[in-house]
Chain A
Amino acid sequence: MLIYTINRLLQLIPVVFVLTVVVFGFVHALPGDLIDAMGGTESIDDPEVRAALEKELGLDQPIVVQYWLWLEKVVQGDFGNSLITRRPVATELLERIPATAYLAVVGIGLSLLIAIPLGTIAAVRRNSITDYTAQITSLIGISIPEFWFAILSILVFSLYFNLLPSSGYVGPGEDFGLSIWYLILPAVAIGFRQAAYTTRLTRSSMLDEIGKDYVITHRSLGLSERKVIYKYTLRNALIPTITISGLQFANLLGGTVVLETIFSWPGIGLTIYQAIQLRDYPVIQAGILFLGFMVVIINLLVDLLYRVLNPRVGTGT
């Protein structure tokens, strides 16, 4: 396990390398040079100012050196200043993390809460009406674009029935009841796709498990069906389900850009969206790097967790 962990950590190096190169290259792929990009809408014409800025930003160095200097700063948490607010990017992002984390965790929790029972029942009552309903619903669920679902839910629950707020955010620390009120629509919108995926996954891994010999053994021992299913089979079927849900969590983070924009949810996703609109490149860079890095970490943790839950998996790389 220790060797596996070390190996897995070493594998992170190239991943983070690709991630940082792409994010670093992004700014350099823009038309004009970095100084124009930094100036935003104002153009900097004075050659002396340009030269001074070039020196300050290290633009007179070869690109590899520039990358290295940038990386050094990033490792220290220095992403530069926002071009719009002139505040450090890291501070801006840190303020936005709780909202995204809150939304993502509740969203995925909600999806597991719906999907695991639904997938299990569908597998246990295979080829029944329940099973078909679950299958069709989940297939439709993965085909609906999140933002359309979000728009329709705003239309129905906020505009027609006036039940829930259509946008906004209240932190759970400020007023818990109110924060849940604001959270319902975004969390459902972000969770339903996951729920659809996870239902399909739970169903198929349950069916896998139900066919195994140990289930027959338990049944022949005279254990009640409920005990066989819920105590033994489900527990094993959940290993792949939880693992893949963990990996899906990464996708969910990527999806926050759209959903946070629709619901004006002040998280990382909305920050990235606004930065794209305002051409605030350091914020785009930092935001995407941050989300990408989170994904890498989550994938690592999920992999390690999988090994712990399922020690039979060989420890080869």
Chain B
Amino acid sequence: MTDLQLRSRHRTDRVAADETPFRIHMRRLRSNIGNAFYELRKSRTASIGAILIACLMVIVVFGQSLATHDPIKSNYRDRTAPPSAEHIMGTDKFGRDIYSRVIIGGQRTILISMAAVAFGLAIGIPVGICSGFYGGRFDSIIMRVTDGFLAFPGLLLYLLIVTVAREWKLYGFWNDAILVFALGLAFWPEVARLARGTALVEAKKEYVEAAQVMGERSFLIAMGQILPNCVSPLIVNATVRLGYMILIIAALSYLGLGTPPPTPDWGSDLRAAQDHLESHPMIAVFPGLAICFSVLAFNLFGDGLRDILDPRLAER
């Protein structure tokens, strides 16, 4: 451990006598965030990924202000215009500003994938930890169920759910909600397996035994003691999964199963651009680049994070 790290760790423990619990808490929080930044700087991959993700978050938060035009409003005088000062990425076949569509579409896509990851984690973590901690019949049932879900390769489970959603004529918010449900449903088995694997190892350690001896309830041990020690692989997995979900959302809307037009969407915009590939190839470039950029951001960050959290791997 380097000096700086030691110092930063000790700093949290130096508590003056007159400090209130709140101030102590805030100080710890600050120093934890400081530590996180310090650790982050150690991996170049993670730093680049973090910067790219920060850009994406700016788009998510300030998307409406960043968009220069109404993404849905057609303008037939300006159809398929090349990039210019007015339209920095040009316009599509309806004269809509591609830049604004990429920004607003991205906002939606990223929010959906974040919600889906949160949903998957919310189901997968408790199920996986309990499965690993309690074992027995509960464990084997859960593991067989996850096996079943994992047997749906790639898009197929989403295809089924989204097709059903289409038949129920769900639009707008509910359509997005179904997408979140479908993506989360396919994600939780993976989370559960990962959490279970780590929980199995952790459950045998002494601190769990100590907690048991102290008479703590087993559910509290699972959630309060074991969970914090399983977090690192889960964070890495969730980060990489965010990127993957963006890919899936784009693929689904590319197949015409996402949000119906004219809602801006990277996948369906690409599909529309394909019809004019020969005459106006640039229309197909920007939504694709946007997908690459965001997926790359999460992949880079996930890779870097894995190296930071598991230094053994970084030496590879």
A positions within 8 Å CB-CB of B? 11, 14-19, 22-23, 26, 29-31, 139-140, 142-148, 151-152, 154-155, 159, 203-204, 207-208, 250-255, 257-258, 261, 272-273, 276-277, 279, 284, 288, 291-292, 295-296, 299
Q: Is B211 an interface residue (CB 8 A)?
A: no
Apart from A22-B157, A296-B151, list 10 A-B contacts with CB within 8 A: A17-B148, A148-B291, A154-B277, A159-B281, A251-B153, A253-B153, A261-B255, A276-B159, A292-B152, A295-B152
Chain B interface category by residue count: 35 or more
Choose the segment among B62-70, B212-220, B294-302 that binds chain A (4+ C-beta atoms closer than 8 Å): B294-302
B88 on the A face (CB < 8 A): no
The distance in angstroms between the C-alpha atoms of A22 and B147, with both chains bound, is: 13
Separation of A253 and B152 alpha carbons in the complex (Å) = 10
- Asked, given contacts A30-B164, A148-B292, A151-B277, whether A253 binds B154 with beta carbons under 8 Å apart, the answer is yes
Contact (Cβ within 8 A) A155 B151: no
Are B154 and A255 neighbours in the complex by a CB distance under 8 Å?
yes
Distance in angstroms from A258 CB to nearest chain B CB is 5
Check A15–B147 contact: CB distance below 8 A: yes
Collect the chain B residues with CB atoms within 8 Å of residue A147's CB: 250-251, 254, 270
Supposing A147-B270, A151-B270 touch, asked if A18 and B149 sit within 8 A by C-beta, the answer is yes
Q: In the bound complex, do residue A31 and residue B167 qualify as a contact, i.e. CB atoms below 8 Å apart? A: yes
Q: Which of B12-54 contact A (CB under 8 A)?
A: none
Q: List 17 A-B contacts (CB under 8 A).
A: A16-B148, A18-B145, A18-B147, A22-B157, A23-B160, A26-B164, A143-B243, A144-B292, A144-B295, A146-B251, A148-B270, A261-B255, A273-B255, A276-B163, A277-B256, A291-B156, A292-B153
**A288 contacts B270, CB within 8 Å?**
no
A159 to chain B, nearest CB (A): 5
Point out the residues of chain B lying under 8 angstroms from A204, CB to CB.
313, 316
How far, in angstroms, from A198 to B251 measured CA to CA in the complex?
Answer: 22
Closest B residue by C-beta to A261: B255
Task: Judge whether B126 is part of the interface by a CB distance below 8 angstroms.
Answer: no
A126: nearest residue on chain B (CB-CB)? B316
User: What's the Cα separation between A139 and B168 when bound, in Å?
Assistant: 39
> Which residue numbers of B lie inside 8 Å of A, CB to CB?
144-145, 147-149, 151-157, 159-160, 163-164, 167-169, 243, 247, 250-251, 254-257, 270, 273-274, 277-278, 281, 284, 288, 291-292, 295-296, 299-300, 303, 313, 316
Query: A295 CA to B154 CA in the complex, in Å?
Result: 10
Residue of B nearest to A166 (CB): B277
Tell me the nearest residue of chain A to B246, going by C-beta.
Answer: A145
CB distance from B300 to the nearest CB of A (A): 7
- Give the residues in chain B near A16, CB-CB below 8 Å: 148
Known: A208-B316, A276-B163. A292 touches B277 (CB 8 A): no
Q: Which of A19, A139, A203, A284 is B151 in contact with, Cβ under 8 Å?
A: A19
Q: B242 to chain A: closest CB distance in Å?
A: 12
Q: B156 to A292, Cβ gap below 8 A?
A: yes
B156 to chain A: which residues have CB within 8 Å? 254, 257, 288, 291-292
Question: Smallest distance from the beta carbon of A317 to chain B beta carbons, Å?
Answer: 9
- A298 and chain B: residue at smallest CB distance: B153
Residues B151 and A18 in contact, CB atoms below 8 Å apart? yes
| From B273, B281, B288, B299, contact of A139 by CB (8 A) | B299
